[in-house]
């Protein structure tokens, strides 16, 4: 292990901003753990359906505030894409090869999960599994992929939006919500927010890549201003307190992104910017940086397969146990379910590690790692010429 840590440290160029990688890793892991905590698979009359503890235990709503970290992912994505595009222009790389390379790295691992689950759905239907069950499981796996389509679109539009001030998309979300919620306008207007809502943190990241918002003043302004706005919108404008969709709720802050979700996301981005300095100091330690680097090498694989890992554990346990297991098969309607689910999280993580080992090659372009002893560190940093070093 010490040798592996040393190789990762040696493969990392001195100018790399390790804190950005740490924020990306924290954002992905936050989404993963959040999904595991607020999603349950319940057997009802022979059919498996999804359920959420937030429906039955609304006092758990603060969980959604901690683990809804997509805004931070878009912040980091905007920073990385803007820096990469600026570097490509300096080197004379045309737009086509640049965007093609970035989108290929994004969608290559997606193809693997889609193929595997298409085959799995066919096998389950042929084996007599009910269509509602197959649809519920498929939705659990495929529904989180929506954000990749938005992220891909914003990546492709980076040359156009990189210099757009993040307040402009916030103004768009404000007006869309005013029309569709305040004035009774058509709900289809919410589709505008699907892009504009995530464009705000993406443009904020591009602003950071240009050297803006680097001081602590900007971070505190975002944290306090965004947080105050989110609280005000929940208390006095009728927005839900949960920052994720809750089955049976009158509306969702996430589908499409609402003004409250955008304000809360900007507050999270402010907190992330304030953490950059402390993270840089902590990540000087080679062992800590090695963990972050390994997570980043398979971040998309972890995101794409985390629901599959939960399904595998849930299905395997139902075969091995004649009775429903607390926190796994039971209705999430009491604190005992929450306590039991926390005990299942390490099992989910173990299953996810197995999935990561099987499918991480798609994210890394089929790159061999020499029997597990080699480490590849991608060293494209905002504003710097990207390259790859191999240890």
Compare 49 and 235 and report the one with higher pLDDT.
Answer: 235
* Exposure on the CB side of residue 380, measured as CA atoms within 13 A: 19
Q: What mean pLDDT do residues 293-308 have? A: 91
**Res. 234: pLDDT tops 90:** yes
Query: pLDDT for 128-153, tens place per residue?
Result: 888 888 998 988 888 878 888 999 99
**Res. 353: pLDDT tops 70:** yes
With the CA atoms of 35, 38, 44 and 48 taken in that order, what torsion angle do they form, in degrees rounded to the nearest 10? 0
Query: pLDDT for 153-191, tens place per residue?
Result: 999 999 999 889 999 999 999 999 999 998 988 989 999
Compare 373 and 39 and report the one with higher pLDDT.
Answer: 39
Q: What mean pLDDT do residues 17-34 have? A: 92
Q: 211: exposed, middle or buried (C-beta count within 10 Å: 0-12, 13-18, 19+)?
A: exposed
Task: Specify which residues 40 forms β-bridges with.
Answer: 51
pLDDT at 70: 92
For residue 364, what are the contacts with CB-CB under 8 A and spacing of at least 6? 297, 298, 376
Query: pLDDT for 253-295, tens place per residue?
Result: 998 999 999 999 999 999 999 999 999 999 989 899 999 998 8
Query: pLDDT for 55-77, tens place per residue?
Result: 999 898 998 898 889 999 999 99
pLDDT at 365: 64
Compare 325 and 228 and report the one with higher pLDDT.
Answer: 228
| Confidence label for 377 from pLDDT (cuts 50, 70 and 90) | very low
pLDDT at 271: 95
Q: Report the C-alpha gap between 23 and 268 in whole angstroms.
A: 11
Q: What are phi and psi of 51, to 5 degrees?
A: -145, 160
Whether the CB-CB separation of 387 and 380 falls below 8 Å is answered with yes
Q: Report the C-alpha gap between 198 and 203 in whole angstroms.
A: 9
**pTM, two decimal places:** 0.89
| Confidence label for 8 from pLDDT (cuts 50, 70 and 90) | confident
Which residue blocks in the chain are alpha helix, DSSP H? 2-11, 18-38, 53-56, 62-67, 70-90, 95-126, 131-142, 146-156, 158-161, 167-177, 190-209, 216-236, 259-282, 286-297, 299-320, 335-363
Compare 2 and 310 and report the one with higher pLDDT.
Answer: 310
Whether the CB-CB separation of 27 and 72 falls below 8 Å is answered with yes
pLDDT at 384: 42
Q: Report the C-alpha gap between 76 and 81 in whole angstroms.
A: 9
**Res. 5: pLDDT tops 70:** yes
**Res. 381: pLDDT tops 70:** no
């Amino acid at each position: 292990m010490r040798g592996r840590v040393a190789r990762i440290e040696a493969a990392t160029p001195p100018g790399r901003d390790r804190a950005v990688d740490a924020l990306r890793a924290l954002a992905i892991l936050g989404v993963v753990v959040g999904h595991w905590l607020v999603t349950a698979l319940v057997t009802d009359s022979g059919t498996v359906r999804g359920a959420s503890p937030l429906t039955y235990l609304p006092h758990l709503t603060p969980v959604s505030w901690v683990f809804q970290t997509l805004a931070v992912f878009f912040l980091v994505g905007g920073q990385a894409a803007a820096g990469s595009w600026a570097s490509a222009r300096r080197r004379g790389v045309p737009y086509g090869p640049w965007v093609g390379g970035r989108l290929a790295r994004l969608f290559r691992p997606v193809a693997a999960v889609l193929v595997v689950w298409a085959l799995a759905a066919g096998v389950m239907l042929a084996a007599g599994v009910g269509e509602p069950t197959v649809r519920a499981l498929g939705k659990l796996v495929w529904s989180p992929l929506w954000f990749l389509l938005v992220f891909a679109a914003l990546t492709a539009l980076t040359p156009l939006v990189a210099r757009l001030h993040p307040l402009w998309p916030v103004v768009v979300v404000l007006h869309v919500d005013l029309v569709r919620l305040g004035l009774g306008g058509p709900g289809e207007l919410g589709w505008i927010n699907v892009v504009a809502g995530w464009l705000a943190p993406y443009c904020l990241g591009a602003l950071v890549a240009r050297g803006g918002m680097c001081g602590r003043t900007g971070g505190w302004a975002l944290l306090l201003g965004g947080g105050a706005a989110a609280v005000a919108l929940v208390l006095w404008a009728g927005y839900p307190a949960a920052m994720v969709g809750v089955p049976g709720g009158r509306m969702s802050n996430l589908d499409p992104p609402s003004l409250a979700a955008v304000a809360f996301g900007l507050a999270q981005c402010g907190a992330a910017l304030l953490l950059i300095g402390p993270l840089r100091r902590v990540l000087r330690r080679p062992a800590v940086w090695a963990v972050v680097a390994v997570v980043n090498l398979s971040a998309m694989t972890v995101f794409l397969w985390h629901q599959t890992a939960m399904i595998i554990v849930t299905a395997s346990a139902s075969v091995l146990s004649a009775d429903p297991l607390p926190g796994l098969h039971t209705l999430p309607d009491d604190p005992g379910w929450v306590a039991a689910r926390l005990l299942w999280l390490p099992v989910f993580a173990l299953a996810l590690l197995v999935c990561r080992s099987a499918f991480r090659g798609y994210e890394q372009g089929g790159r061999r790692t020499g029997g597990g002893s080699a480490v590849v560190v991608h060293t494209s940093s905002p504003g710097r010429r990207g390259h790859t070093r191999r240890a």
